[in-house]
A and B are shown apart, each in its own frame.
Chain A
Amino acid sequence: MDPQHLNLIYLIIAAAVATFVTRIGGYVLITQMKQIPPRLEAALNAVPAAVLTTLVAPAFVYGGFDVAVSMFVAFAIALGLNLSTLRMLVIGWVVVMLLRHLVL
């Protein structure tokens, strides 16, 4: 196995350990700590939305016209009809395929 591939294996193992730490962490903490400070809790609550947004916004701005349009259409329809993520993916995919193969 070449060193670069070995690094990927190490990366996956590190990610698995990090994930396991989050899964056992609350149990360990709750037996130690009585209460989480409110500001810390607010910050922790914000983590997933804040991290995931950084993977969405730049793709929308720099991903090209077809990607931006399909993201927007999927977003608008999913929000309006309260659709699941899976349906949203299907809509976005259909829009981008239409744009790429029929329109542009």
Chain B
Amino acid sequence: MRKDEFWEGVRGGFPIMLAASPFGALFGALAVDNGFTIADTVFMSATVYAGASQMVGIELFGNHVQPWLVVLSVFAVNFRHVLYSASIAKYIRHFTPIQKFFAFFLLVDPQYAETEKRGERGLPVTFPWYLGFGLVIYFPWIFNTLLGAIFGQMIGDPKAIGLDVLLPIYFLGLVMGFRKRDRFLPIVAVSAIASVAGMHFVGSPWHVSIGALAGVLLAACLPPTGTVAAPPVAIEKEA
């Protein structure tokens, strides 16, 4: 029975793993391009295991941003996970402490979405199911990072093969994923203007904190909309 649940999780996570694979490889190639060794790159995928924030991390590291700001930005990009773990708390309360440790470590966007869906339907959220779903995404993510990093190291000039446009477009895609949220346009407009102004008048890397702070402050200052916030399933496919 328990074994069946594990394999059910593996089957559920398999398509997500396929969808996330190019991003793992992309991360690997770009990380090497930003000054990481292959070992650093794989180490980051295995320990941080949060695609979008890993991309943010290497981008800022490549621009010689101060370490505390890199960590803060990773924290900020991953902040949505706080909402995830709060939301699935009711379904995984029966896990043992060690099981919870692994469950939270593996809590990527699709893992959250699927756990929530399963719990809402009244299906049991068991640890074997959760682990099967999580691991079939986790290990290929590391492997694809390695492949991408090896590939990245073979490339001489990343600009000649167009690698340099991929990160900004990737981040643009992520931003667009949040467009259903309250106050999306004003927040993005203010952050965009403030970050460009910050880049112009203060310089990199301060444009990141200046722009982000402007958008967040705006969101806090605008009158509440009264609508219930949609469940945070914005960055679905990027692990």
Contact = CB atoms under 8 A, between A and B. Distances in A.
Q: State whether these chains interact.
A: yes
Interface of A: 5, 7-16, 18-27, 29-31, 38-63, 66-67, 70-71, 74-75, 78-79, 84-86, 88-89, 92-93, 96-97, 100
Nearest to A11: B67
Given A9-B40, A19-B53, A53 B215 contact: yes
Question: A interface, by DSSP: helix, strand, loop or mixed?
Answer: helix
B237 A60 contact: no
B147 interface: no
B89 A31 contact: yes
A40 B181 contact: no
Contacts of A57: 191-193, 195-196, 211
Given A8-B40, A42-B219, A42-B222, A29 B82 contact: yes
Interface centre among A13, A55, A67, A100 (most CB of B within 10 A): A55
Nearest to B191: A53
A4 B204 CA distance: 21
A40 B220 contact: yes
B40 A100 contact: no
A14 B71 CA distance: 7
Given A12-B40, A12-B48, A55 B208 contact: yes
B229 A41 contact: yes
Nearest to A60: B168
B168 A50 contact: no
B211 A54 contact: yes
12 contacts: A10-B67, A15-B71, A19-B50, A19-B75, A22-B79, A22-B85, A24-B104, A25-B82, A51-B212, A52-B77, A74-B169, A100-B160
B53 to A, nearest CB: 6
Contact of B199 (A8, A40, A62): A62
A19 B49 contact: yes
B54 to A, nearest CB: 8
Contacts of A54: 191-192, 194-195, 198, 207-208, 210-212
B10 interface: no
Contacts of A71: 165, 168-169, 172
B211 A53 contact: yes
B5 interface: no
Interface centre among A11, A43, A46, A67 (most CB of B within 10 A): A46
Interface stretch (B117-125, B137-145, B148-156, B182-190): B182-190
